[in-house]
Structure 1
């Protein structure tokens, strides 16, 4: 089949590789324009653009979905388009430019978690099962009919970054199968009208830890926003990042919410219903380190120290 592939980040790479390995003709790869990256803010191609260049595939880097892009896409004479985390809303004129439609790989079991942050929201909500859905793009967002799904259990202690990486790999054959279904004339099935939830983007302000909340809830927040935007709290008025934490009870009396304690091997903090270990942290302007190592580096110790909020 003649396929347009639209994607931008690393999570899209397994799907692009799968389609190429199956022998499809990738007539164009659509990806976001080069963007500043690294300390030097040097313009850098997206991971998808880099892989496409390695594979010798033609690349388009539109900054917007305008009439020029619609004309370019129509001129490619593609049978179908595959989408994985492209990062641009597709207007109806662009959807209509590909006869077989645009098939998107979404990282949730639709209709649960429609929107920009399905994996993060699933972790934060404590979902035991996540998954992927390959569906045809229509209006409204993430509401199109479904070709294929795959359930994926969430592993204990799994972060959103780790789960997303697994879903990207496991979802690649699901998307490839949906492309084959479309080529065979199989019609997708409408999504259920019940069980719809939305996955709004998580902002940095949303990732601030409230130590009065239960330990299990804080654990889910930390894992949900790892690696981005990252959980944080305030210590002496400055941001203190928490990368990894886990609920765990000390032998000593419980700590008050936000209160710190440490021994040779552990850094502890109190929550609304018990204590937690802070496994990997970073003080303002410092690199990530083990919580116990950070505590040992405090000249006056951490006894009596409390997070500001």
Structure 2
């Protein structure tokens, strides 16, 4: 494919979410001149160095790759400047210092998986589901000093369906974000985008990084809140609880609202088809799970092999 004449783009990203955007630029003929990604990291049982998903894709396209340990390193800055980018694109990368994001004449734009200013932070897809939102989306915006606060370029809304979890919604937003990126680059090059400042106050919800303790199921919450927590963390890292002294990860649940008179966390089972836990206002049914030391399995398979008191 013939490269478009404008602009010269340096792409920055690390995980597979970013690969979709990089691939969209490359396959549609945009002039990507270099890629910046994280250094290779030890992974797997052998702890051998593994390249990021973005690096693997870039190398397959014979694109130059920079992997700085420190973004203020003089050698990295000189190498980056040598590519004479008109525009930098950031998707799922780390925070950039001003001397990096302010380097190209057209600035640096970011693709973020929420409808900014809502859900600024590292885990917007997770928290949108956990909080029971019915809609989210993707936003392209210009980088500035404060994280995720730059002027909005374009947005695209995406419905969150009842059956969505982090896995399915991640996939949708990954591809919608890639499409929105192309529209944004075209609009910036043509001068047709009217940038809008983000609202700085009001009822803003945040999306901090997910830690292990965020996945602990608190049975004193409502059944729907617990169900949404499971959706928002499935399949990775997965919400969890304790059963007979061992960890149980929940991947799929359903729930019913009813008065039961049981203490939160009390569980019941028929030993064959269902395992349910008492929440504040009803029951949460575990449909797909992984018991500590075992593989992931449907609840019926789990109950065939394990006898637990009902």
Aligned-residue Cα RMSD (Å) equals: 1.9
Unaligned runs of 5+ in 1: 305-309
Report the Cα offset of residue 62 of structure 1.
Answer: 1.3
Asked whether 1:69 is paired with 2:76, we answer: yes
Matches within 5 A, 1:61-100: 61-66=67-72, 67-86=74-93, 88-100=94-106
SS at match of 1:115: coil
1:190 is matched with which residue?
A: 197
Unaligned runs of 5+ in 2: 1-6
SS at match of 1:114: coil
1:240 is matched with which residue?
A: 248
1:104 is matched with which residue?
A: 110
1:166 is matched with which residue?
A: 172
2:3 is matched with which residue?
A: none
1:230-273: per-residue Cα shift (whole Å, max 9, x none)? 211122333221111111479x9676432131353322222221
1:17-42: per-residue Cα shift (whole Å, max 9, x none)? 11112211111011111112223222
Distance (whole Å) between structure 2 residues aligned to residue 262 and residue 302 of structure 1: 10
**Distance of aligned partners of 1:70 and 1:98 in 2 relative to their CA distance in 1, 3 Å threshold:** same
Distance (whole Å) between structure 1 residues aligned to residue 235 and residue 107 of structure 2: 33
Distance (whole Å) between structure 2 residues aligned to residue 96 and residue 73 of structure 1: 12
Report the Cα offset of residue 278 of structure 1.
Answer: 0.7
Distance (whole Å) between structure 2 residues aligned to residue 33 and residue 169 of structure 1: 25
2:227 is matched with which residue?
A: 219
Verify the 8 A CA contact 1:204 1:230 in the aligned structure 2: no
Asked whether 1:12 is paired with 2:13, we answer: no
Verify the 8 A CA contact 2:288 2:299 in the aligned structure 1: yes
SS at match of 2:77: helix
- Which residue, 284, 287, 292 being the options, matches 2:295? 287
SS at match of 2:114: coil
Verify the 8 A CA contact 1:254 1:274 in the aligned structure 2: no
Report the Cα offset of residue 276 of structure 1.
Answer: 2.1
- Which residue, 19, 26, 35 being the options, matches 2:32? 26
Query: How many pairs does the alignment contain?
Result: 300
Structure 1 stretch 266-275 or stretch 26-35: which is displaced more? Answer: 266-275
- Which residue, 208, 232, 243 being the options, matches 2:216? 208
Report the Cα offset of residue 142 of structure 1.
Answer: 0.3
SS at match of 1:5: strand
1:200-255: per-residue Cα shift (whole Å, max 9, x none)? 112101110112221101001111112332211122333221111111479x9676
Distance (whole Å) between structure 2 residues aligned to residue 60 and residue 254 of structure 1: 60
Report the Cα offset of residue 163 of structure 1.
Answer: 0.5
1:55 is matched with which residue?
A: 61
Matches within 5 A, 1:256-271: 256-258=263-265, 259-271=267-279
